[in-house]
Amino acid sequence: MKWNTPLIGVVILMTLTSGCLGSIEDQGNENGLVVTTDSNLVRIQTVYDQGELIEQEDGMIRFDFSDSVFEKEILFYGISPDDGREEILIDATETSEIDVLYDKHGYYTIKAFAIDVNGDRETTEIMITIEQEITWTETNTGNPEILYFEADPGNELPSPSYFTLNSTVENPSSIIGIDGRSVSVSWSVVNPDGPCLSESRSIEDGDSTTWNTLHFSPVGMHELELVIDDGQDSINIEHKVLILYELVE
């Protein structure tokens, strides 16, 4: 039997083309490094009671590498946290998520990366923002303590956009219901350059007052001091400080 040469060529071409299409489809699924986060903005929660630090919940960002697709086997996923710490590595054969905690506010430019069996590394950058909320309470105090808070970020990137202060002072009624007195108080916020914010109020017996204010581009250690100028022997205090950043796209 004699084979038709053109027909053989068509069969071979179809076979090669079929194999090439399969290869192209596979390459289309090789997305490379894809990293997602559960949030790009989180807030540290710091709580003081009677002048003592009782709780700090650090800001946590979860980095998920599970959408990454590579031609070569990946051994490690990693994060460079941009706050002076060493790189965080995980075994890519065991998990595809990395949880990173931050105990200082700031903008952080994260480097997320994957390392394959040849030691080659693919990297991408992700910007995250860590803010801080500080809550301070004192009850039945005649000598309020100073609240110190640091405005400098946890790296070399710009300082916070601003902080807000919400401070409530209560002049509790006399327990026996007589001889209630008003109280005069003064607030001051001091930074490395000196006083930057101040306020004075008089509070009647059984009443409370709230001072709301903000300060832009804070730098360095700040001191929030509340002083009883005259009147009642004891007051109740709640300060709330939010250290905030403008969102970066």
Q: What is the pLDDT of residue 13?
A: 33
If asked whether residues 119 and 157 sit together in one domain, one would say no
Residues with Cβ within 8 Å of residue 170, at least 6 apart in sequence: 203, 207, 208, 235, 236, 237
If asked whether residues 74 and 155 sit together in one domain, one would say no
Residue with tokens 């290869």: 23
DSSP structural state of residue 92: T
The pLDDT of 75-92, averaged and rounded, is 98
Greater model confidence, 30 or 164: 164
- Within a domain: 209: yes
Q: What is the pLDDT of residue 19?
A: 32
Q: What is the pLDDT of residue 174?
A: 74
If asked whether residues 165 and 221 sit together in one domain, one would say yes
The pLDDT of 81-100, averaged and rounded, is 98
Lowest mean pLDDT among 6-15, 51-60, 136-145: 6-15
CATH number at residue 78: 2.60.40.10
The pLDDT of 132-147, averaged and rounded, is 98
Give the confidence band of 25 by pLDDT, cuts at 50, 70, 90: very low
Q: Choose among 41, 36, 248: nearest CA to 124.
A: 36
If asked whether residues 232 and 141 sit together in one domain, one would say yes
Domain boundary among 115, 130, 145: 130
Which amino acid belongs to residue 100? V
Ramachandran bin of 196, using left for φ above 0, alpha for ψ from -120 to 50, beta for the remaining angles: alpha
Q: How many domains does the chain have?
A: 2
Task: Please provide the average confidence, as pLDDT, over all residues in the chain.
Answer: 88
If asked whether residues 144 and 189 sit together in one domain, one would say yes
Does residue 52 surpass a pLDDT of 50? yes
If asked whether residues 99 and 110 sit together in one domain, one would say yes
Does residue 113 surpass a pLDDT of 70? yes
If asked whether residues 90 and 176 sit together in one domain, one would say no
The pLDDT of 3-13, averaged and rounded, is 38
Tokens of 210: 């709230």
Classified as helix, coil or strand, 16 is helix
- Within a domain: 25: no
Domain boundary among 111, 130, 149: 130
CA distance 176 to 168: 24
The pLDDT of 155-184, averaged and rounded, is 88
If asked whether residues 220 and 178 sit together in one domain, one would say yes
- Within a domain: 15: no
If asked whether residues 124 and 146 sit together in one domain, one would say no
Task: Name the percent of the chain lying above pLDDT 70.
Answer: 85
Does residue 232 surpass a pLDDT of 90? no
CATH number at residue 189: 2.60.120.380
Q: Choose among 168, 200, 204: nearest CA to 187.
A: 200
Which amino acid belongs to residue 135? T
| Domain enclosing residue 125, as ranges | 36-42+59-130
Does residue 67 surpass a pLDDT of 90? yes
- Within a domain: 203: yes
If asked whether residues 155 and 167 sit together in one domain, one would say yes
Domain boundary among 109, 130, 151: 130
Cα end-to-end span (Å), the chain? 72
Cα-to-chain-centroid distance, residue 130: 2
Tokens of 217: 């581009």
Does residue 103 surpass a pLDDT of 70? yes
Does residue 11 surpass a pLDDT of 60? no
Task: Name the percent of the chain lying above pLDDT 90.
Answer: 81
- Within a domain: 29: no
If asked whether residues 103 and 139 sit together in one domain, one would say no
If asked whether residues 164 and 236 sit together in one domain, one would say yes
Does residue 202 surpass a pLDDT of 80? yes
- Within a domain: 197: yes
Does residue 90 surpass a pLDDT of 50? yes
